[in-house]
Chain A
Amino acid sequence: MNQDFINTLLLTGRLAGWTTVILFMIGFPIAYLLAYRRFPLKAVVEALISMPLVLPPTVLGFYMLVAYSPQNGFGRFLVEHFNTRLAFSFEGVLIASVLFSLPFMIQPLQNGLTSIPKSYREASYTLGKSEFTTLIRVLIPNMIPSIITAVAMTFAHCIGEFGVVIMVGGNMPGETRVASIAIYDEVQAMNYHAANQYSFILFIISLLILTLVYSMNGKKTILF
């Protein structure tokens, strides 16, 4: 295995890892709000979060490129204030990846929260416990399989992500060239041995993650 191969796999893991960590932090509060609060346009928010499930990745990739462009508001703001261009950078791919993986984190968490009997929350409140204490002591411990599912599905989806990454990040070794891009690149160069190595690794990792998720089935795992 050459260094390029290892670097590509490490970059893939780094992208999937950071996406999962960031999404868990922003996804949990969103899932909590969607599970327990009523607010105007809730259906629109839920639809927007679910869009990556039905939308071609190239659509999101295209809009991300438009947003990152210095000719438009957000991109110009980043250049003027932070001297940063997100297009074809790891950070740019990471943001796109976070947006594109939203439903894989939020939906299992939301389903996990709504599957907990309402009386548990209410019992905790009537015992004088705050929403935060209830979340930490009652809700989270009773939805561990859903949390594992959300984290595993997000990570697995991320390591296989292709469309958004190639649109937003291109194919820059060490920066945006993740394993799924490398497979495409190696096949184009008719280097089937290298493509097979990448493919086999992704296949095994995905199989292990999905086996973990499905082994949770007996423990009230909620997928979608």
Chain B
Amino acid sequence: MARKQYYFDMLKIDIQRAMLTSEGKTNLEVCTEIQDNELLCLFGHSGAGKTTLLRILAGLTRPDRGKIIYNDVVWYDSDRKINVSPQDRNIGYMFQDYALFPNMTVEKNIRFAQKEKDTEEVDKLLTLFDLMNLKNQHPGKLSGGQKQRVALARVLAAKPDLLLLDEPLSALDFDMRESLQQEIQKAHDLMKVITLMVSHDHQEVIQLATSVLVLKNGVVVTEGKPADVFCLRYPEYRYC
């Protein structure tokens, strides 16, 4: 599961992007730095800009202006007209609908993500996420929880430098959410990379995140450790 390791991973984001939400036009403005091995939750109501920010980091949506720098590599710079494609960012993006390819079995979905064919690695991931007995099934026959585990395994098979998870637990019931939070933790610990996860469930944030960034109408309202944010700075979601 080794990947190219820097001494200290760092993601610098300073972007702006016009967004159209149900409440009209708004501007997504985010300026932050994310440190090594952090599991950062992007928290906020629908339309706050969480998914847009994730898509911008993945290279799927282009910001209007700004910079994104990962470990001294410029992914996006509007002034210098740099915009690295999603293929060249080496990120692992887990979609809300999991985006498993229906024409491939579980095993083939995972194998597809590999840059170099490695059957042993695929077997390891299948075992790790308890998917070995489902490896010949097609995604259409899997439950929501099973799909989520396949999607996580597929993302990890690509050995990404950055994990981006877009509301990975939103489609699941309460019991399933709890058990799969552990899978996400497992994935994050395994890869030892910066992980950004979109969530609008503050319990989930407290459970998983090392830090949280709260977005409201495209603007960062507050950021910090979940306990600090929810207890001290963001009473709207006070839990303690």
Contact = CB atoms under 8 A, between A and B. Distances in A.
Nearest to A122: B60
Interface in A17-55: none
A189 B59 CA distance: 68
A119 interface: yes
A125 B102 contact: no
Contact of A120 (B86, B101, B115, B154): B101
A119 B112 contact: no
Interface in A113-139: 117, 119-120, 122-130, 137-138
Interface in B47-62: 58-60
A125 B86 contact: yes
A124 B101 CA distance: 9
Contact of A122 (B99, B154, B158): B99
B85 interface: yes
A58 interface: no
A89 interface: no
Q: How large is the interface on A (under 10, 10 to 19, 20 to 34, 35 or more residues)?
A: 10 to 19
Q: Is the interface of A mostly helix, strand, loop or mixed?
A: helix
A125 to B, nearest CB: 4
Interface secondary structure of B, over-half rule:
loop
B90 A142 contact: no
Contacts of B93: 122-123, 126
B97 interface: yes
Q: For A126, A138, A142, which residue has the most chain B Cβ atoms within 10 angstroms?
A: A126
B70 interface: no
B92 interface: yes
A141 interface: yes
Contacts of A138: 101, 103
Contacts of B112: 124, 127, 129, 137
Contacts of A125: 59-60, 85-87
A127 B158 contact: yes
B134 interface: no
Contact of B87 (A117, A129, A137, A141): A129
B99 A142 contact: no
Interface residues of B, number: 24
Interface in B127-163: 154, 158
A116 to B, nearest CB: 10
Contact of A119 (B95, B113, B154): B95
Contacts of A119: 95-97, 99
Interface in A82-128: 117, 119-120, 122-128
Contacts of A127: 112-113, 154, 158
A123 B99 contact: yes
Interface string B101-125: 1110000000011010000000000
Contacts of A129: 87, 112
Given A123-B95, A126-B92, A128-B90, A142 B158 contact: no
Given A119-B95, A122-B93, A122-B95, A128 B158 contact: yes
Contact of B86 (A126, A137, A142): A126
Contacts of B85: 125
A130 B87 CA distance: 7
Nearest to A121: B99
Contact of A142 (B87, B96, B102, B154): B102
Interface of B: 58-60, 85-93, 95-97, 99, 101-103, 112-113, 115, 154, 158
10 contacts: A119-B96, A122-B58, A122-B86, A122-B95, A122-B99, A123-B93, A123-B95, A123-B101, A127-B158, A128-B158
Given A126-B59, A128-B115, 20 more contacts: A117-B99, A119-B97, A119-B99, A120-B99, A120-B101, A125-B59, A125-B87, A126-B86, A127-B113, A127-B154, A127-B158, A128-B87, A128-B88, A128-B90, A129-B87, A129-B112, A130-B87, A138-B103, A141-B101, A142-B102
